[in-house]
Amino acid sequence: MKLLDRYIFRQFAVSFFFASAAFIALFILISMVENLDEFIDLGIGPGKITGYYLSSIPSTLMVTSPVAALLSAILVAGKLSAMSELSAIKSAGISLKQLLKPFVLGGTIICSINMLNSCWLGPAAAADKIAFERTSFNRTQNLQANSNMHILESGNRIVSIGELLINQSKGLHISIEQFNGTRLSTRMDAPEMIFDQNVHKWVLKETSSRSFTGNNEQYHLNPGNDTLGMAMSLKSLRKLNVQPDEMNILEHYRYTREKDKAGFSGLDRAKVKLHAKIALPFASLISILIGVPLSTIRKRGGKAAEFSITLFIGFLYLGLQKTIATIGYTGLLEPWIAAWLPNMLFLIVAGILYKTAE
């Protein structure tokens, strides 16, 4: 790395660190002011409050990284332009493409860290944060009840579970209906089923089954055991009360795939969030590709203008990302489009600015 590249990279890294720290501190301060009365009323101690806000840092960093990266790129490149260093750099035959290299290196490092954060660290921290909110604030409105569950299996089979006892790996009041087209062909009932870890199948106790052929009905009682293979594994059923934000990328993928196979509807939100875990980390790199060319274009107003531009572009991206994701939640957009469209639009803007500044 050349001396100039090292200088720019160091300035960018320091600016990004302090910008991120400032944004995180600001977000935590605002949240603390909002929740302080509730903390006091519930008698929550300083240790638990500290742990709660520490667990919120990964998600806050994901949200603020694009803005912090954009601000850092604009400040560093703007400083070079204001002190006429940029003119000297161009006179030395260094193109905008070469100037971008240390910024892109910094953005790639930020993108890699955010990818690790989004796919693994963030979900682990979110699980602690959500668990704290459920126990301390009694926020359970998003939990699904483990009762009266109806799972559509492949081959037109519907498995109904009256009550699911997760800790005991047991289901009560089981009904399995097999359809031939729209006509019910067989129905099996059992008072309970238990998951057998050895064969990875459900074992039904004392089943009674009925077969329907035309106007005839045959009844069969089995006092022993029957086995049932389901598309939804015990691990997946245990995660029914786990939100997508709490799952790492592999768990999230298995969650949506198995629920799809089991016939669950309303998976658009979970699928958008799955794609967003990959798409959002790239926002910081795209912000840099916008910020550097923008700073090389001469403008009035100094640092105040640069800061205003940063906030406008940064929060425009966050607002656009939230709006398009909401549209994706309703199923009006394909999940991958809802997650990636803001990045695509801002990448086009970055390309236009680059051509203008060249």
CB 215 within 8 A of CB 120: no
Confidence check: pLDDT of 46 > 80: yes
Q: How far is CA 330 from CA 263, 268, 271, in A?
A: 18, 7, 11
Whole-number pLDDT of residue 139: 63
Confidence check: pLDDT of 279 > 80: yes
Whole-number pLDDT of residue 110: 98
Kindly state the average pLDDT of the residues 282-290.
96
CA 134/CA 143 separation, integer angstroms? 10
Whole-number pLDDT of residue 131: 84
Kindly report the average pLDDT of the chain as a whole number: 88
Kindly state the average pLDDT of the residues 1-5.
81
Confidence check: pLDDT of 144 > 60: no
Instruction: Quick: pLDDT tens for 317-331.
Output: 999 999 999 999 999
CA 24/CA 265 separation, integer angstroms? 36
Residues of the chain with pLDDT > 70, as a percent, come to 91
Whole-number pLDDT of residue 266: 81
Token pair, residue 78, equals 């703007």
User: What is the band of 79 on the pLDDT scale with cuts at 50, 70, 90?
Assistant: confident
Q: How far is CA 189 from CA 75, 95, 283, in A?
A: 69, 74, 52
Q: Specify the 3-state DSSP secondary structure of 305.
A: helix
Higher pLDDT, 216 or 265: 216
Whole-number pLDDT of residue 208: 94
User: What is the band of 84 on the pLDDT scale with cuts at 50, 70, 90?
Assistant: low
Domain ranges for the chain: 3-139+273-357, 147-235
Closest CA to 312 of 292, 297, 291: 291
Whole-number pLDDT of residue 33: 93
Instruction: Quick: pLDDT tens for 171-188.
Output: 899 999 998 887 889 999
DSSP letter string, 112-133: HHHHHIIIIIHHHHHHHHHHHH
Whole-number pLDDT of residue 96: 86
User: In this structure, how many other beta carbons lie within 10 angstroms of the beta carbon of residue 326?
Assistant: 14
pTM given for the model: 0.80
Instruction: Quick: pLDDT tens for 85-132.
Output: 676 777 777 888 899 999 999 999 999 999 999 999 999 999 899 888
Token pair, residue 239, equals 């995660």
Give phi and psi for 80, each to the nearest 5: -60, -40
Whole-number pLDDT of residue 240: 65
Residues of the chain with pLDDT > 90, as a percent, come to 55
